[in-house]
A and B are shown apart, each in its own frame.
Chain A
Amino acid sequence: MTEINPNGRPHAYGFDTRAVHAGQRPDPYTGARAVPIFQTTSYVFEDTDSAAAYFNLQEYGNTYSRIMNPTVAAFEERIGNLEGGAGGVAFASGLAGQAAALFTMLQPGDHVVASSALYGGSVTQLKHLLRKLSVELTFVDPDDLSLWEGAIRPTTKALFGETIGNPGGNVLDVEPIARLGHDHGIPLVIDNTFATPYLCRPIEWGADIVIHSATKFLGGHGTSLGGVVVEAGTFDWSNGRFPVVADPSPAYHGLAFHETFGMYGYLMKLRAESLRDLGGAMSPFNAFLLLLGVETLPIRMDRHVANAEDIARFLVCHPMVERVRYAGLEDSSYYPLKEKYLPRGAGAVFSFDIRGGRAAGTALIERLQLWSHLANVGDAKSLIIHPASTTHRQLGDEELRAAGITAGTIRLSVGLETLDDLIWDLERGFRAARAAGGTNEEAAAAAGRTVEGVETEPQVLR
């Protein structure tokens, strides 16, 4: 129960307290302080009436762990609370959550407007998966509000963007885009993975749905895949544009989710229909590990940001570096937006371009001792990837440019190690890169050329 202060108002707990407590009270049955791992597929009903009430959604009750699980629910409520939403629904991965979130509100013939500066996996999902569902898509330069507005059609059902874009590090101007959407009766969907609710809470700026790949900073230790979808609970799904949410549902014996559950209607439908039918449920064990991560989110993010800012400043001054794209740098064009939306920092994922292109990038990566060369972000460990020699290996320089990167682009996810060690390691890499730089660039490029007949679409950056 919430404590009531002498002035009659409920006490408002701070973010750090809620990161540790929200969504989980000590288990009433055993007193267990840590969240119990309810590793069960299913739940015994008290009686047949209760079973019926649970399946009819007339009562909040556990039925089957594809649809709900008490350990997962603690995670869902915690993120819903930290984001300031009506609640959350967790998924097996970020992309599973994103697909389900969109699936819940879209139908064939609909249209989505999305930022062009997105995680590659999201680009692929939006472009190809949605097309299979006969949903059309327009990508727009996220920095130009008039392009968002110009792309809106009568069939547009969602605006989609990332708080901090991957890997360009652009900061989305959430507030006017949300207002634009609302003027047209369209919700704004934000992927807040890189910021986490500690650095930015998009709902406070008008976003309607917030999606996370919990795989990244929320979990924070690179152990578990997971995703979560939070809804603000304020969007009017009955505004005429969303019969798929508002009308009696043929998939749930005629239930009208928005009318029946009001501000919880979208989330109910997301769970009781989309999660039930698509099936990408989060495992209770993953929820347990992700909850452990979230408990330390505030202190981890402070350290991630502090290390990232120092490394960005080190890179800016480095002779081997052509360009650093990090909104936390004062001369970044995104710095004013960072000051508005991300006052505690622009996160810890950003990219820079190394002098000497592909060969230099490869040499740097090969020399590193401490930075892990892999395709992920948001681990306690520092991570690095050179798209041109890995995920985008099949692309020529022109194609790389089209993907928003160069042959020398290197992406970092700055971890929690001792700053001096991270810089020491990069410095060794730069020395190796300088030795290799430019000399065999053409050879490296040739090695990366496409084999005839092989699909040239790049593997996406995680």
Chain B
Amino acid sequence: MTQSTAVDLAAYQDETTIRDLIGSARTVAIVGLSPNVLRPSNFVGFYLQRHGYRIVPVNPRETEILGEKSYPSLTDIPFPVDIVDVFRTPEAVPGIAREAVAIGAKALWLQFGVISPEGARIAEDGGLKVVMDRCMKVEHARHAGRMHWLGFNTGNVTARR
């Protein structure tokens, strides 16, 4: 099994929250975005760009990723951010969560395997929505994209066109 921790992950995988975030967000800061096209973060950044989100790389080692200026930290970004999407080790999350609160982001989104109850609590106390151990690309593809074309279980049932 992937996780042996006692975090109540389901509380951070609420479908309504996820759908609202996917539908309302425009700007997504990606912390730990890699310039390597084979890295998961790059897959997600590329995909979100294709689907009309403005992505903001946060990576102190790079100046530009996927055609966007890269910032050393969240607090260096000079414009509002809707979602802070995190591809870092769980230990880095509390600090990132504090910065996400400081810049007034609307949500903290922790990717597959990024599990941090402390980070989640900091973000929630700061008024942010939190999603944990979910992939933003997958959730977009499930609710608004074409994930069903590859036979994945989207859970969607509808008789509406």
Contacts and interface: CB of A to CB of B under 8 A. Distances in A.
Interface of A: 1-2, 4, 8-10, 13, 17-18, 21-23, 25-28, 31, 53, 56-62, 68, 70, 72-77, 80-81, 85-90, 182, 234-236, 248, 253-256, 259-264, 267-268, 271
A263 B137 CA distance: 13
A23 B149 CA distance: 9
A25 B149 contact: no
B150 interface: yes
Contact of A90 (B147, B149, B151): B151
Interface in B4-61: 14-16, 19, 37-40, 43, 46-47, 50
Nearest to A256: B38
A25 B38 contact: no
A95 to B, nearest CB: 19
A87 B151 contact: yes
Given A25-B156, A53-B46, 20 more contacts: A1-B156, A2-B156, A4-B15, A17-B157, A23-B148, A23-B151, A25-B158, A27-B161, A60-B141, A61-B146, A68-B149, A77-B154, A234-B1, A234-B2, A235-B1, A248-B38, A259-B40, A262-B40, A264-B138, A267-B152
B152 A1 contact: no
Interface residues on B, range: 35 or more
B40 A271 contact: no
A263 B112 CA distance: 8
Contact of B43 (A31, A58, A76, A182): A58
Given A2-B15, A262-B112, A267-B151, A26 B40 contact: no
A2 B157 contact: yes
Contact of B2 (A25, A26, A87, A236): A236
A264 B50 contact: no
Nearest to A74: B148
Given A248-B38, A260-B43, A4 B149 contact: no
Counting chain B CB atoms within 10 Å of each CB, the highest count among A2, A73, A235, A263 belongs to A2
A390 to B, nearest CB: 36
A255 B151 contact: no
Contact of A62 (B15, B143, B149): B149
23 contacts: A1-B156, A1-B158, A10-B15, A13-B157, A18-B157, A21-B157, A23-B148, A25-B158, A25-B159, A58-B43, A60-B141, A60-B145, A68-B151, A70-B149, A73-B151, A75-B151, A77-B151, A87-B150, A88-B151, A262-B135, A262-B138, A264-B152, A271-B151
Nearest to A43: B149
Interface of B: 1-2, 14-16, 19, 37-40, 43, 46-47, 50, 112-113, 135, 138, 141, 143, 145-161
A60 B16 contact: no
Contact of B153 (A21, A87, A182, A255): A87
Contact of A1 (B37, B47, B143): B143
Counting chain A CB atoms within 10 Å of each CB, the highest count among B145, B151, B159 belongs to B151
A396 to B, nearest CB: 46
**6 A-B pairs closest in CB distance:** A76-B151, A87-B152, A262-B112, A80-B153, A60-B146, A26-B161
A60 to B, nearest CB: 4
A353 B34 CA distance: 65
B128 to A, nearest CB: 18
Given A21-B159, A262-B135, A263-B112, A73 B1 contact: no
A46 to B, nearest CB: 11
Given A77-B148, A88-B151, A182 B1 contact: yes
B148 to A, nearest CB: 6
Contacts of A8: 14, 16
Contacts of B143: 1
Contacts of B37: 56
Nearest to B111: A262
B42 to A, nearest CB: 8
